[in-house]
Chain A
Amino acid sequence: MRGRNGRNLPVYIGMVVPALSIFLFIVAYPIIYSFWLSLTDFNPNRGGEWNFVGIAQYAKMFNDPNFWHALKNNLIVVGVSVFGQIPLGFGLAYILFRKHVRASGFFQSMLFLPHFLSTIVIGILWKRMFQADGPVSTLLQYLSGDPSAQFTLMLRAETVMYPIGFALIWIYTGLYMVIFLANLQKLDKEMLEAAQIDGASEFQIFMRVVVPALSGTILVSSILAIAGSLRGFDLIYSITTQGLQRNNAMVLPIFMYQTAFQDFNNDSRFAYGAAISNAIILISVSLIIISNIIGKRLKAGEEN
């Protein structure tokens, strides 16, 4: 029964099939279904009749200012992740790595803590913090001496992404910090010492030795950040109140959710929602491919 090199088809199938069938059924099939759905006007509440409408849902999406607004916010979140969390996390990890502070274990576990908490809890907590006359506003009132001072950044479309970006940095920077720290610790210590003896400044060592050595980690972290940012729903959903605030801070997953499950006036809401979620998948896959290409280019550039 036993083949060479451990080959044995029945056993192979037996090992693969349970996981594969669940995966195909729950992940792969819905993707195909989603693609089909986005080309129709299917609404199960109407008794299952449907028409093929081609790319009408996509055309509608491209003409919908809400889509572009949500996309813009989503890209801001991606930006905050890639250009905020990652550099900050890297910087903090480097400080710990170079032992500029003691009790690094304590600081590490403190900064990493928010990542373990439910995003919903964090969203509700910060919503409370930012509320009118809430803790942050009260702090502003103490500091400014003006008893009517308010934290108003959550009010306006132009500024609402600042507090949200802050919360995102608060949650995720710790994750990138521990990832970078783990990889920094794998670095060749002698190389660093050699650079130091050569009289290189801390900054030079960081830029010339450390960053290039960790370019792979930076790339992986960026991909992680992009994928995570585009699917992010919980934080923005829970930190905002339904209405203008949530509209201002709208991101694609929330837009998709509200379209498909709440917009009863749109007869083909499920189909339209599917078009939006397909757009999310497409955007996130292409951003990941782009960052992969950039990463490879950079690496190739270094090697030459």
Chain B
Amino acid sequence: MKRFILVLMVLALVVPAFAAGQKEAAPGQIVVKTMAYGDNSNPEGVNWVRIVDAFHKANPGIKIDYELLYDEAYHQKVAARLASGDVPHLAYMGADARWGAPWKEASQQFDHRPFIDGKVFDLNLIPPMGPKNEIFVLPLGTSNITTVLYMNEALVKSLGFAEPKTYEDLVAMVPKAKAAGLEVVSIDGADGWAWGSCYMSAIIARLSGDANWVSKAVAGQYKFTDQVFVDSLAMITRMVKDGVIAEKSVLVDYGANLSTFSNKKALFVVQGQWAAGSIDPAVADTTKMLAWPKLPGEKPAMAGSVAAAIQVGYGLTKAGAADAKVRDAALKFMMYFYSVEETTLRLREGAIVAPILKNYQVPADLPLIVKQKVSLAQSAKNTDVIDAFLGGAANDALNAGMQKIVTGAATPAQVAAEVEKLLRK
């Protein structure tokens, strides 16, 4: 027993040292401290490890010392590393309310413009991100459509219907769908963000006729208490009442939502373009990616529009750019990471829609659903995604508010007033 205790105590002292020792770089190597996004269970993470391994083989003088994290844990660790002063040189980040906030707060955003090779990247596709048109990250791609209406065409046809042109067409499907035990439009309503990103972002643009209604409202040009926003919220009540969206959707989370669709239990599903890769291939082959049909009261200017944002991606921090050697090593890695081969793989796997590479040729043999995605991105008008502009408590209140509207716990006017109040505070 005593010896056992002794062994454990020695372990307690040795293991942390061993853990720290794993990160040790060889002498003379340039170390790029990196925070990468993904985990071992998703393609992002698996690909990251593979890319870094290959890069190390090709560039023995550089060490990408990375931490690979996903979702909550990633945001958590960003905050932690910034707070402890252990600022990474290279990180997965964005410039919007969710992905840019911690970097902005810590004044670590770095303007990449002088270092972006115009021969490789198409500068027209990268939007300005800062007040002086700075570019803080290299996005993985553009046109990250968040409000796709996926349709199981075979299932819709089997009930005797065709692709809906108007909202009324959707309503007309309700009785037959119900009788067959099917959802009409399934949404992962348990996730608050899905309502904002994947649903309301489309509705408000349609009803207001202004593609940038959200950004203008956040800037103070409109108010969230304006009648048009209240009407947009009231659209939820209407869809629930008409049976297009089920009240129980507030109990459905991301995985269950896509399973429902993949297992032919819903005619339509609402999600972002990234979900295309998670749909069962058998169903994906008969799936069409649509914009919402014509909604009652929508303005013609925005007919057929979808909400889309620029994707997040990797960017240098001020700390990383401070040392020219580290900066150049990081840039070299980024060129590797955004290479044509890797970008094509990302396109194939459904991670991106449109690359930011100059003169990029879209391969002809893409899977059907990816082709649809690309064509939707090219054809539909793009409008603001709410949470790219609205952050923090106001955004949370909006998302939770829409869930309340579904369950009848709040009226559209109440939710609108709450959002407006929190935003202007």
Contacts and interface: CB of A to CB of B under 8 A. Distances in A.
Interface of A: 43-47, 130-133, 147-148, 150-152, 154-157, 241-245, 247, 261-267
Given A131-B256, A241-B253, A265-B391, A152 B248 contact: yes
B263 to A, nearest CB: 11
Contacts of A243: 190-193, 399-400, 403
Nearest to A66: B393
Contacts of B282: none
Given A242-B192, A261-B76, A264-B392, A247 B400 contact: yes
A45 B82 contact: yes
Contact of A263 (B83, B190, B252, B393): B393
A85 to B, nearest CB: 26
B392 A265 contact: yes
Interface in B248-275: 248-253, 256
Given A44-B84, A263-B393, A132 B249 contact: yes
B407 interface: yes
A40 to B, nearest CB: 15
Contacts of A244: 192, 250, 399-400, 403-404, 407
B181 interface: yes
Contact of B191 (A131, A157, A241): A241
B153 to A, nearest CB: 24
Nearest to B98: A264
B248 A150 contact: yes
Interface string B186-197: 000011110000
Interface of A is mostly: loop
A255 to B, nearest CB: 12
B252 to A, nearest CB: 5
Nearest to A154: B251
Interface stretch (B101-109, B155-163, B293-301, B350-358): B101-109
Contacts of B15: none
Contacts of A132: 248-249, 251-252, 256
Nearest to A128: B256
5 closest cross-chain pairs (CB), A and B: A243-B192, A265-B392, A244-B403, A132-B251, A241-B190
A132 B407 CA distance: 14
B79 interface: yes
Nearest to A152: B248
Given A44-B84, A46-B105, A264-B392, A245 B248 contact: no
Interface residues of B, number: 36
B392 A157 contact: no
Interface of B: 75-76, 79, 82-85, 97, 101-102, 105-106, 178, 181, 190-193, 247-253, 256, 391-393, 396, 399-400, 403-404, 407, 409
Given A132-B256, A154-B251, 16 more contacts: A44-B85, A45-B79, A45-B105, A45-B106, A130-B251, A132-B252, A148-B178, A155-B248, A241-B191, A243-B192, A243-B399, A244-B192, A247-B396, A262-B75, A264-B101, A265-B392
Nearest to A148: B178
A244 B97 CA distance: 20
Contacts of A152: 247-248, 251
B75 A150 contact: no
A197 to B, nearest CB: 51
Most chain A CB neighbours (cut-off 10 Å) among B190, B396, B403, B404: B190
Nearest to B102: A264
A155 B400 contact: no
20 contacts: A44-B84, A44-B85, A46-B105, A131-B252, A131-B253, A132-B249, A147-B181, A148-B178, A150-B251, A155-B247, A156-B407, A157-B409, A242-B191, A243-B403, A245-B250, A264-B79, A264-B391, A265-B97, A265-B393, A266-B393
A264 B191 contact: no
B136 to A, nearest CB: 16
Nearest to B394: A265
